[in-house]
Every structure is written in C-alpha cells, then in structure tokens.
Amino acid sequence: MPLTISVVVCAYNEERLLPACLATLSRQSRPPDEIVVVNNASTDGTRAIAASTPGVKVVDEPRKGLVIARETGRRHARGELLAFLDADCQAPDTWLERVEAEFGRRSRPAAVTGCYRFHDWDFTGRLLIRLYDYTLAPATHFLAQRVLRMGAVLYGGNFTVHRDALEAIGGFDTTIEFHGEDSNVGRRLAKVGTVVLSPRCFIYTSARRYKAMGRIRVLWLYTSNFVAEIFRHRPRDITHEDIRN
C-alpha cells in the first residue's frame, strides 16, 4: 500500500516566490496527500497567498527561524512521508513520483534527497552547480555515509523523510539558526537508516543567495558548516545573513 506524503513548505516573507512553488505542487503526477505551508512570522502577503490556494493547510509559527518552522511543520503534517520543499523552489511535475519510487526500490531508507538546479541563474553558475551535483556531492555523500559512517549529504530544501525516522532522532534541532541545519539532519538520520542521494529527484530553486553574497562566499559557508557539523556535531556559524532584507 502506498505511503501517504505530506509536503511541508516553510515560508518567511515569500509572497513573490511562493505562488510558483505551490503551482508546481498542484501539477504533480503523483499528487501530495497534504500540503502544509508554515507561515513563519511573515509580514507580507505570504499567509494570504497560501490560504487562498486550494488544498493548502496554513500553520502559523510566530517564532522566526527556518529550523523552528521545519519542526512546526513536522508536528502538524500527517503523512507517513514528509517532503520538505523551500518556498523559493519549483518542483518538476514528476518530483513526488520519483521520490516515491526511490522509497519503493530501496530497503526502507530513512530519507531521500535530491540536488538543486536553478531557474534564475546564468549559464556559468548553472554549469558549476551541475558539475558539483554529479561529482563532488555524490563522492562526499559516499565518503561520509559509507566509508566514514559519520553523516550524509542532505539538501535542506529538497528532502523527504520517513516520519518515524525523524521522530527517532528527536525531530529538528531548533537551537540551530540556519547554516548547517541540513547537515545536522543528515548526520543524525544516517545513524538510524540510509539517506539516499538521488540525482533523479532534483528540484529547481532560486540562485538569489549566490547573487546577493557571491559564489565563493556561499560555497565556503555551506562547505565549512558541513565539515563542522560532521566532525564537531555543530555548525560553524551561529548566525546568518537574511538576503531578503
């Protein structure tokens, strides 16, 4: 019997990008059983947009913070599989179908994650990220999970997890503000099951962080916090720059 899937979208002041995200969920070849939008202390029209979208359940979380919003989404979603998608992401029409297939063909993985492609970046940026997704990312994932057995690569804006696996690790660590939150989840999930990194389960996202902060700086932030989380079990950075301000 197929597992039920809840898609959880965490959104803080995302009135510009949320409509496209939700539109792609409405076109899924394997429709989600539930769509939960966590309105995370938004001061714009985010809540109104989510509430006016058919089939969307809105949960208000007044405490600002991505990880807090993810945990709120976990507690309110009802699916056996919880698919976390960031509000600036756009899912291909077969995204959930491919995710479901990965859970079906594997020996009960804890989670399935996929890489990012960018819908608003230049050719060079898209090429660099594509090279990373098909070379360095899977190599790092294999080394961390299969060789060192210390963690896994997990894309925070694109992963689906068994509810009971997430419950087994105590949910999300809400003491983390932003950077390293995905590495933290991947590391802890790898202790209770396999984290599958599937190139078939990619999604499109915005390159706004790279554009605002620069490619080298963003790559350094992600890399340094991944390494710190894997080896020290804590991200390197305790604050982050909100690029929407």
Q: How confident is the model at residue 106 (pLDDT cuts 50, 70, 90)?
A: confident
Whole-model pTM? 0.96
pLDDT for 1: 76
Q: How confident is the model at residue 108 (pLDDT cuts 50, 70, 90)?
A: confident
pLDDT for 117: 95
Q: Read off the pLDDT of residues 207-226 as tens digits, 9 standing for 90 and up.
A: 999 999 999 999 999 999 99
Average pLDDT, the chain: 96
Task: Name the residue with tokens 């060079």.
Answer: 124
Q: What is the mean pLDDT of residues 166-188?
A: 97
Task: Name which of 22, 77, 83 is nearest 51 in CA terms.
Answer: 22
**β-strand 111-113 against 158-162: which pairing, if any?**
antiparallel
Q: What is the mean pLDDT of residues 110-117?
A: 97
Ordered DSSP codes for 48-116: HHHHTSTTEEEEEE-S--HHHHHHHHHHH---SEEEEEETT-B--TTHHHHHHHHHHHSS--SEEE--E
The pLDDT of residue 245 is above 70: no
Question: What burial class does residue 111 get, using C-beta atoms within 10 Å of its C-beta: 0-12 exposed, 13-18 middle, 19+ buried?
Answer: buried
The pLDDT of residue 65 is above 70: yes
Q: What is the mean pLDDT of residues 95-123?
A: 93
Q: Please count the other Cβ atoms lying within 10 Å of the Cβ belonging to residue 206.
A: 23
Q: What is the mean pLDDT of residues 97-117?
A: 93
pLDDT for 8: 98
- CATH fold of 5-232 reads Spore Coat Polysaccharide Biosynthesis Protein SpsA; Chain A (3.90.550)
Distance CA 136, CA 59 (A): 37
The pLDDT of residue 32 is above 70: yes
